[in-house]
Amino acid sequence: MDEHRHAVRASTHLSGRVALDGASAETTPCLVRNLSPIGARVAFCSEVEVPDSFDLFLDPGETAYRAHTIWSSGNEVGVLFREARENAPEVLCDDALCGEDSATGPIPKP
């Protein structure tokens, strides 16, 4: 598979929620498997029909990030954020979340 990413993504296990229907307050739980300032890989417990655009809420903080679906396979989707997430390093390097990125090694704290 060709690599098309424009930013390095760090491996994560962030819990989140996805608002699949913009008109509804109902959300679907998900797990953010990797994350960068411009995109993410999101996994669901089962296959979910994901729209072209949706809101991704990352816990903690409950900030909504507008995401555009780039690819989907089984219960996972790859997304690009409509706006770059300037706070990605802070989210990634929370004491409980810092770890190793397979491409770059340890993720430094800012």
Give the model's pLDDT for residue 62: 72
Residue percentage of the chain with pLDDT more than 70 = 62
Q: Domains in the chain, ordered, with CATH?
A: 10-97 (2.40.10.220)
Q: Which range has the worst mean pLDDT, 39-43, 49-53, 92-96? A: 92-96
pLDDT-based confidence at 103, cuts 50/70/90? very low
Q: What is the DSSP string of 73-100?
A: ETTEEEEEESS--TTHHHHHTSTTT--E
* Residue 23, pLDDT above cutoff 70: no
Has residue 99 got a pLDDT over 60? no
> 31: which residues sit within 8 A by CB, 6+ positions away?
13, 14, 15, 16, 42, 43, 44
pLDDT reported for residue 52: 94
Burial of residue 66, with CB atoms counted within 10 A of its CB: 0-12 exposed, 13-18 middle, 19 or more buried:
middle
Asked if pLDDT for residue 46 goes beyond 50, the answer is: yes
20: left (phi over 0), alpha (psi -120 to 50) or beta: alpha
